[in-house]
Amino acid sequence: MNSVDRICEKFVVQNTLDHGSAKAGPVVGMIMAAHPELRKEAKSVKETVVEKINLISSLTITEIQQIAQEKYPELLKEDKPEVELGEGTDFIRAIINEDMKTNKYNGRVHTRFPPEPNGYLHIGHAKSILLNYRIAVEYNGKFNWRFDDTNPTTEDVEYVKAQIEDAKWLGVDWEDRLLYASDYFDQFYEYAVQLVEKGKAYVDDLSVDEIREYRGTITEPGKESPFRNRTIEENLDLFDRMKNGEFSDGSKVLRAKIDMASPNLLMRDPLIYRILHKKHHNTGDKWCIYPMYDWAHGLEDSIEGITHSICTMEFEIHRQLYDWFLEQLDDETGNPIFKPQQIEFARSNFTYTVLGKRNIIRLVKEGYVNGWDDPRMPTIVGILRRGITADAIRKFYKEIGVSKREAIIDQSIFDNCVREDLDERCSRVMSVLRPLKVVITNYPKDEFEEITILNHPRNKEMGTRKIKFSKILYIEQEDFMEDPPEDYFRLTLGKEVRLKYAYIIKCEKVLRDDETGEITEIHCSYDSETKGDSSVVERKIEGTIHWISAIDAIKAEVRLSDRLFIKENPMELEEGEDFTDYLNPHSLEIVNAYVEPFLQDADIGSRYQFERLGYFCIDIVDSSKDNLVFNRIITLRDSWVKR
C-alpha cells in the first residue's frame, strides 16, 4: 500500500468511526486540509477514497475497529480536552468548570434543547435532552426548551404537543421557559437588515441549482454570483420587498457575503432567508420569508442568553458559521451581541436500530410499523408504550457518559440497563403464553387450594398474594417434550418436574387431536407430600416450570415485540439495497395467553415480570378491563447473544 492509499484509508476509517459511515466529500476535504501537497492530485485522491469507502463499508464495525487498532491506533484515542479533566468529569463539564473559574459568563450556566417540530423524538434525542438538562441542574443554572420552528413546510402542532409530553415524561423541567424560535422572527429580520447595511449580505436571484453549481467542491473554489455586488440600497429594497410578498417562492434568497473560496463549504455565502408563502403554526400568515437554520441557531441562543450551546458532532463543521454570524452583529447600544459557546459531543447510535428522522418517518408512512408509538420503535412514545421507564433511560445515559467519538452502542447494553431497572420494581406474576392443558388425574375434581407466595423474591415489602392450585392447569407448550434431548430438564412422558410454588408432578399420558396429531392435553399425577419449592424430598428433581390454574385464569392478548432489524447496522448497505430489506419479519408475534385474575383490575401501564418469560406492561392504548393487552418490554435474558 503506497502512502496515498494509506492516507485515504486512514481518513475513511476515521470518518466511519466518527459518523457510522464515510462520505467521499468530507473525507477528501479532511485529506486536503491535512495534506495540502495532495491538492494537485485531487482527482486521483477522490477515486482512491471512493474505493476505500466501498471496501470499509462492507465490513462490520468490529472489523473496522480492528483495522484501526492494528494500523491506526491513534484513531481510537479520545481527543485531549483543552482543559484538565477532574476525576469523573467529562470534557463538557471540564469546559464549564474552567468557565466558572474564569467567570466567563458571570458564573452563569444556561443550556437548551432546540428540537424541530417535524417528527417525534427518539432515544437518540433523549441523550442530548438529558445532558443539557442535567448540566443546568448540576450548576444551579437554567434550561430552556425551545422549538426551532423555522420551516413551516415540515412542522405540525401534533409534533409540538408530542415533544412536550415526551420531555415531561423524561423528567425535564424548563419552568416558564417553553420557547419558540418563531417568536424571534422580528429580531431575526432586524439582524438580517443590519447585516445588509454592513455590506455583509445580499439578495441573490440564482436558482437553488445554480447556487449549488456556483458553490464549487471540496477541491475547487466556488465562483461569485453575478448578483453578489449589488449596492446596499438595492439589497435593502429587495429584501424589504421579499418580506412584503412581492416575489414568488424560490425566486430570490438572502445570502451572507463571506468567502466563496473557503475550504469550509458552509462559509461560501450561505443562505440566510428564503421565500416561502406558507402558513406557520405559530405566526400564521405574517411571514412569507423564513430564516435558514444556520442563521437562526446562533441568534436564538444569543437572544436567550444561552451560555453553552451543547449539540451533536454533525454541527461541529457549522461552528465556524455560528461564530461568524454572531460576531458581525451589534445590539441596540452598538456593542457586539451576546456570544454563546458551541460545544459538540458524539450522538448515540444503537445496533439493530435506525434513528435517522427520515428513516423513522418512512417506517411509519410506509406501514412497516403501527404508528409512531409502536412499541418496536425507538421513538420516546414507542419506548413509553413498550413499558421502559424514564429512570432506565436516565440511568443508561448517565452510565455511558459523553465523548467526541461516535460509536454504535450494542443494544444489549441498553437492554441490560432496562432489565436492572425492571427487576427491582416489578412484581412477579404467573402467565402462560402458549397454553398446554394439564389434567392432574389424582386431584379432586371440584376442589382447589390456595398457595401464598411473595410478589417479589427479595423485596418482602411488596407483599404477598394467593394463587390457586386445581385439577386442571396450563403450562407452556415448550415445557413439555415427548422425545427430549439429554439436556432437557422440563416435563416429559414418564418423568417428574416441579410446578413452581406447588407440587411435583409426573406425566403419564398424552392426548392428541385425531386429525392434526397435535398434543391437546397431558395427564399427570401429583405427589401431595411435595408442596412448596423448599419442601424436602428424597428424589432429585432437576426442572421447575411455571403454571396457572384453569379455575380462575383469565385470557389476555400478549404482544411479543422483538428487535425491528436483523442486521447489526441496518444502514450499512450495498448498492441497490435499502435498510428496509433488513426488517425482522418476526419482530412482532401476538399470542392468546392466560394470566392471573387480579391483573384484570390492574392499572393501565402497570409492569410485571411474567415468571420465566420476561417483563411485560399493560398496554396504555388498547388494553381495557374486558380486553387485557400486554406488551413484552424485554426478555429475561438476551436471546440475541446466541443468534
> Which are the catalytic amino acids?
116, 347, 357
Residue 262: which of 220, 200, 316 has the closest Cα?
A: 220
| Beta carbons of 117 and 388 less than 8 angstroms apart | no
Cα–Cα separations (whole angstroms), residue 207 to 69, 119, 218, 250, 345: 47, 29, 21, 7, 35
Residue 559: which of 583, 591, 593, 600 has the closest Cα?
A: 591
CA–CA gap between residue 525 and residue 504 (Å, rounded) = 9
CA–CA gap between residue 178 and residue 621 (Å, rounded) = 28
Nearest-5° Cα angle at 197, 194 to 199: 115
Who contacts 402 (Cβ-Cβ below 8 Å, separation ≥6)? Answer: 90, 91, 92, 127, 131, 345, 346
Strands in 289-291's sheet, in edge-to-edge order, are: 201-204, 253-256, 271-275, 289-291
What residues does 521 pair with on adjacent strands? Answer: 437, 511
Q: Are strands 435-440 and 308-312 parallel, antiparallel or unpaired?
A: unpaired
Residue 274 in grid coordinates = 428564503
DSSP track, 184-198: GHHHHHHHHHHHHHT
CA–CA gap between residue 266 and residue 29 (Å, rounded) = 13
Q: Are strands 448-454 and 464-470 parallel, antiparallel or unpaired?
A: antiparallel
Alpha helices in 143-249 (DSSP H): 157-170, 185-197, 208-215, 232-243
157-170 and 390-400 helices, crossing angle to 10°: 70
